């Protein structure tokens, strides 16, 4: 399987803080890659490299290469960043729907990208709400505010919102950490179904979750990538001592 | 431990008392204002202790304040105009009586004055006179008192003339003041809101941290400048500018007032809406950017809608400042209480009127109470605006 994303010797500094240290890693296409590690280890920062979300934080310096389909996304022109982000969807830690209706939340990405065809938008909204396993719950109240949904429903709405513009990569930053077990289960089922079409990178705190949903796992510690490999191998037979300590719950 | 058991309820009670008393004080202010203001209605516009007299044969029974003023200004010269017979109006004063009769006839202590008035009046069928009640009431046989319409709420609102010190009858029409206030405030907010919103978006989303750190305190400082200083600035800068730009005889116009009030309202609008814009969660902004929206799309479609209620609050505060502003308005609007027809004309606002006239109005008199009634109107206007905006922003959410 080829690598969809590849980073080569990436270093990232927030002011004086060295947040990512010499990270080289390839993320395979149409698979689920989990990034695990204790708080502050840099896994979320690493995830946010891929859609250049770190650009929003002042005093960030990045060196090294981040290749997406072979192209260094830190060398593209500033006006191409919007296009990059269209290709790389993101689901955040806490559900963050817009203060708009359910329909408008999903349609937002289409509208800001200049799509005005009403029937296409309607079709896309319905399709992605089906994909996100939310359609049956919201089909009668598409005009209602997204804030009326439960936390789990809101998060699935955010996933539908990310899917609506048809990205090829979906980044998930602890997507289930604010949710109850049942909602978490639904999100995990969803991830499982989506991986046929998308390359998914998921940051998680939850060891069992990483074990359940991912094909590959990377373990981060203090800004460095300690180990990367097939999830089964990392969880059953890690080659580094730190990985084993973390996975067996000795720290973190 | 025991001490805390005693002190905590004491503090709780103290705080409760503070809360109740401040609420009570606000209530007292409103009650006092309205008590004085409402007592203004159903007063006679004629000075207390004076009466208007006409000849017995005159068929006119009643006059209103406007007619009386026109008669004494000699704009109305014939009784026909006010519903009487075709007879020229003859204004008739006490001085005239004093000249027409000898000191002997008047009596050493003017005790025969009413009699003299009576006989003089008898010879003038078209006469109208304005005399102290003491020397005339019940003593004149040749004349009868004219009924004067009381000041009613509807005439107070709809009358277009404001001459509170005109005699014998004051004209208390607040229409020109009301329109002046609304005109000046409306255009002030029309200028200030877009500018303020743009500035707050710049500060909250576009300016880099260094610029923001300088600009924000400077703008906040502007809010603390006393309004007299703004008035000066207006007089020296805005008024000549307006005068030259539009080639006007005087620069003290509604437009100058609007500009000065807009400048005064700006800091409030900017600070409040900037704070509101900054409350937009970062996650919301990131979600929008992550979907490929540009910065500007994110501002327009996510950040501004999210901060809508805060921006509305900023607008209310701005309108409140513009409507209630006294000193600056007094200094730059020209203060002529006439019906405004354009922005390039002097106007007078309600607060400026109260400030300018309260000092010369006799305490407890008609004029004094009229100013309180004006205060009530101002209070009601701001109340309505606040309720309206409250409802609008509630609907949005």
| Dihedral, CA of residue A206, residue A209, residue A213 and residue A215, to nearest 10 | 50
Q: Which residue of B has its CA nearest to A145?
A: B397
Taking CB atoms and an 8 Å cutoff, what residues of chain A touch B287? 90, 92, 96, 98, 158, 161
Per-residue pLDDT tens for B72-127?
A: 888 888 888 887 788 888 787 777 777 777 877 777 777 777 777 888 778 777 78
CA atoms within 13 A on the CB side of B34: 8
A44: helix, coil or strand?
helix
In a mutational test of the A interface, the residue from B207, B281, B292 whose CB has the highest number of chain A CBs within 10 Å is B292
Per-residue pLDDT tens for A4-60?
A: 899 999 999 998 899 999 999 999 999 999 999 988 888 999 999 999 998 888 888
pTM: 0.79
Taking CB atoms and an 8 Å cutoff, what residues of chain B touch A100? 305
pLDDT at position B179 over 80: yes
Alpha-helical (H) ranges within A23-180 are 43-47, 81-87, 102-112, 118-131, 135-138, 151-164
Q: Which CATH number fits domain B175-396: 1.10.3720.10, 3.20.20.80, 1.10.486.10, 3.40.50.720?
A: 1.10.3720.10
The DSSP output letter for B128 is E
Closest-CA distance, A215 to chain B, in angstroms, reads 25
The model's confidence at residue B393, banded by pLDDT at 50, 70 and 90, is low
Are both B50-149 and B175-396 of the same fold? no
Mean pLDDT of B351-371: 89
Candidate from B209, B292, B305 with C-beta closest to A85: B292
- The structural domains of chain B, with segments of one domain joined by +, span 50-149, 175-396
pLDDT at position B396 over 60: no
Q: Hey, is the C-beta of B209 within 8 angstroms of any chain A C-beta?
A: yes
Taking CB atoms and an 8 Å cutoff, what residues of chain B touch A177? none
Candidate from A86, A112, A161 with C-beta closest to B297: A112
Q: Do B306 and A100 touch (CB under 8 A)?
A: no
What pLDDT is attached to residue A171?
94
At the second CATH level, the architecture of B50-149 is 3-Layer(aba) Sandwich (3.40)
Structure tokens at A144: 């209602």
Q: Which residue of A has its CA nearest to B281?
A: A96
The proportion of chain B whose per-residue pLDDT surpasses 70, expressed as a percent, equals 97
pLDDT at position A252 over 70: no
User: Is the omega angle on the peptide bond into residue A98 within 30 degrees of 0, that is, cis?
Assistant: no
Q: Do B291 and A109 touch (CB under 8 A)?
A: yes
Angle at B173 between CA B168 and CA B175, to 5 degrees: 160
d(CA A247, CA A245): 6
β-pair type (B62-63, B90-92): unpaired
Taking CB atoms and an 8 Å cutoff, what residues of chain B touch A174? none
Which residue carries 């990392």 as its tokens? Answer: A234
Q: Do B284 and A98 touch (CB under 8 A)?
A: yes
Candidate from A82, A83, A92 with C-beta closest to B287: A92
């Amino acid at each position: 399987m080829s690598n969809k994303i590849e980073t080569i010797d990436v270093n990232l500094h927030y002011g004086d803080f060295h947040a990512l240290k010499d990270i080289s890693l390839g993320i395979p296409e149409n698979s689920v890659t989990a990034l695990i590690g204790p708080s502050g280890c840099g896994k979320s920062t690493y995830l946010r490299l891929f859609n250049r979300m770190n650009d929003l934080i002042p005093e960030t310096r990045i060196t090294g290469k981040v290749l997406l389909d072979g192209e260094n996304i830190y060398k593209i022109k500033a006006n191409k960043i919007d296009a990059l982000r269209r290709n790389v969807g993101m689901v955040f830690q806490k559900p963050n729907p817009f203060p708009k209706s359910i329909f408008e939340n999903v349609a937002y990405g289409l509208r800001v990208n200049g799509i005005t065809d009403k029937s296409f938008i309607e079709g896309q909204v319905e399709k992605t709400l089906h994909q996100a396993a939310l359609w049956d719950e919201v089909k009668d109240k598409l005009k209602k505010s997204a804030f009326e949904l439960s936390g789990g429903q809101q998060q699935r709405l955010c996933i539908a919102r990310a899917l609506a513009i048809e990205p090829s990569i979906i980044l998930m930053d602890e997507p289930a950490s604010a949710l109850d077990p049942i909602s978490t289960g639904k999100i995990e089922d969803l991830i499982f179904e989506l991986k046929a079409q998308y390359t998914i990178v998921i940051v998680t705190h939850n060891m069992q979750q990483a074990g359940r949903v991912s094909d590959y796992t990377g373990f981060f510690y203090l800004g460095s990538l300690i180990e990367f490999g097939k999830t089964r191998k990392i969880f059953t037979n890690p080659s580094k001592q730190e990985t084993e300590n973390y996975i067996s719950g000795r720290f973190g | 431990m025991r001490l805390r058991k005693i002190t905590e309820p004491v503090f709780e009670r103290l705080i409760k008392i503070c809360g109740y008393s401040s609420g009570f004080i606000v209530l007292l202010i409103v009650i006092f204002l309205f008590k004085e203001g409402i007592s203004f209605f159903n007063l006679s516009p004629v000075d207390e202790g004076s009466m208007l007299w006409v000849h017995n044969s005159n068929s006119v029974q009643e006059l209103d304040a406007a007619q009386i003023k026109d008669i004494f200004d000699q704009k109305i010269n014939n009784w026909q105009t006010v519903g009487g017979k075709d007879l020229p109006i003859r204004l008739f004063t006490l001085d005239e009586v004093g000249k027409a009769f000898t000191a002997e006839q008047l009596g050493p202590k003017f005790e025969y004055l009413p009699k003299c008035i009576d006989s003089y009046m008898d010879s003038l069928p078209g006469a109208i006179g304005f005399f102290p009640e003491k020397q005339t009431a019940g003593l004149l046989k040749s004349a009868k008192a004219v009924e004067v319409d009381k000041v009613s709420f509807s005439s107070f609102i709809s009358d277009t003339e404001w001459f509170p010190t005109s005699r014998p009858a004051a004209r208390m029409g607040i229409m020109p003041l009301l329109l002046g206030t609304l005109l000046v405030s409306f255009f002030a907010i029309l200028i200030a809101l877009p500018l303020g919103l743009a500035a707050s978006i710049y500060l909250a989303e576009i300016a880099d941290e260094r610029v923001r750190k300088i600009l924000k305190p400077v703008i906040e400082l502007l809010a603390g400048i006393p309004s007299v200083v703004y008035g000066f600035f207006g007089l020296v800068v805005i008024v000549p500018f307006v005068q030259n730009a539009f080639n006007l005889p005087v620069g003290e116009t509604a437009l100058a007032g609007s500009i000065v009030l807009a400048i005064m309202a700006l800091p409030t609008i900017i600070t409040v809406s900037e704070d509101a814009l900054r409350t937009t969660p970062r996650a919301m902004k990131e979600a929008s950017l992550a979907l490929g929206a540009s910065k500007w799309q994110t501002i327009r479609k996510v950040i501004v809608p999210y901060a809508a209620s805060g921006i509305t609050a900023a607008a209310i505060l701005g309108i409140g400042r513009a409507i209630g502003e006294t000193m600056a308005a007094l200094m730059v609007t020209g203060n002529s209480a006439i019906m405004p027809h354009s922005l390039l004309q002097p106007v007078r606002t309600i607060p400026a009127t109260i400030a300018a006239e309260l000092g010369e109005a006799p305490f407890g008199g008609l004029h004094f109470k009229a100013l309180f009634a004006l205060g009530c109107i101002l209070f009601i206007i701001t109340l309505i605006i606040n309720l309206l905006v409250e409802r609008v922003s509630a609907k949005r959410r």
